[in-house]
């Protein structure tokens, strides 16, 4: 049974809630450690596990790169620090880690009563997105998209979306979408903090 109440008279609301329910199911599945591809084995230190990864052209050079999420067991065993790293394919075919963020992916205990909030790491054109879903009485989700800037030779935040509603009022859904340069300036992946990005960065 779905954890959401779906009013019969609002097709758009049913679609939104259905998507959020699917996100919750996906989050539960994604919380399991991923199978480690041979190409990433050297990037996983002792005491860490591979939570998720994608293989895609992340910088527009026509070769397959990796974005991967590691969870550290050596930190708080209940929370587990998580880091996202970009490894690009060099001309000789070797992978090189070029960028890491330690705040983007929320911890396993950061989702409230809904459990692990991590939902998905998804490949986008010349970039990627990370999404979460969690809450208790208040249900929330977020998705942050990063794209490669050839000028700055790095990945920068290009879109942030946040959605929330209370289970007692499921038809009152609040959605915020933030984009540069109106809501923030250039924010490098390594510097991104999901709790503090509005008004941040040079424009």
HEC states along 68-80? EEEEECCCCCCCC
Within-domain flag for 186: yes
What does the mean pLDDT of the chain come to? 86
Residue 175's DSSP bridge partners are 163
What's the sign of the alpha-carbon dihedral 107, 130, 176, 9? Answer: negative
Q: What would the two tokens of residue 156 be?
A: 């920068």
In tens, the pLDDT along 101-127 reads: 999 999 988 888 888 999 999 999 999
Query: Would you give the DSSP letter of residue 81?
Result: -
| Enclosing domain of residue 32 | 11-191
Q: What would the two tokens of residue 106 be?
A: 């929320």
| Cβ within 8 Å of residue 64, ≥6 positions away | 55, 56, 57, 89
Q: What would the two tokens of residue 176 be?
A: 């915020």
Within-domain flag for 203: no
Within-domain flag for 133: yes
Within-domain flag for 30: yes
In tens, the pLDDT along 148-167 reads: 999 999 999 999 999 999 98
What's the sign of the alpha-carbon dihedral 153, 159, 160, 163? Answer: negative
Within-domain flag for 52: yes
pTM assigned to the model: 0.82
Within-domain flag for 5: no
In tens, the pLDDT along 25-66 reads: 444 444 567 789 999 999 999 989 999 999 999 999 999 999
Within-domain flag for 120: yes
Asked whether 34 and 53 are in contact (CB, 8 A), the reply is: yes
What's the sign of the alpha-carbon dihedral 124, 126, 132, 138? Answer: negative
Q: What is the pLDDT of residue 151?
A: 96
Within-domain flag for 57: yes
**Considering its fold, how many domains does the chain have in total?**
1
Q: What is the pLDDT of residue 49?
A: 94
| 81-to-27, 48, 88, 97, 102 alpha-carbon distances in Å | 17, 9, 23, 19, 8
Q: What would the two tokens of residue 57 be?
A: 């052209």
The Cα 140–Cα 163 span in angstroms is 6
């Amino acid at each position: 049974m779905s954890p959401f109440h779906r009013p019969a008279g609002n097709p758009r609301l049913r679609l939104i809630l259905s998507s959020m329910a699917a996100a919750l199911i996906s989050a539960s599945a994604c919380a399991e450690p991923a199978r480690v591809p041979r190409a990433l084995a050297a990037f996983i230190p002792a005491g860490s596990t591979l939570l998720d990864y994608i293989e895609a052209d992340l910088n527009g050079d026509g070769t397959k790169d990796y974005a991967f999420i590691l969870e550290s067991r050596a930190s708080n065993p209940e929370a587990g620090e998580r880091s996202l790293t970009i490894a690009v394919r060099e001309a000789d075919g070797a992978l090189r880690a070029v960028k890491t963020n330690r705040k983007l992916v929320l911890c396993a205990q950061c989702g409230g009563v809904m459990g692990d909030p991590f939902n998905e790491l998804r490949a986008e054109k010349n970039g990627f997105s990370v999404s979460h879903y969690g809450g208790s009485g208040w249900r929330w989700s977020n998705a942050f998209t990063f794209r490669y800037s050839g000028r700055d030779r790095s990945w920068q935040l290009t879109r942030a979306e946040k959605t929330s509603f209370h289970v007692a009022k499921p038809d009152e859904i609040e959605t915020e979408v933030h984009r540069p340069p109106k809501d923030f300036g250039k924010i490098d992946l390594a510097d991104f903090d999901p709790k503090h990005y509005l008004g941040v960065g040079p424009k």
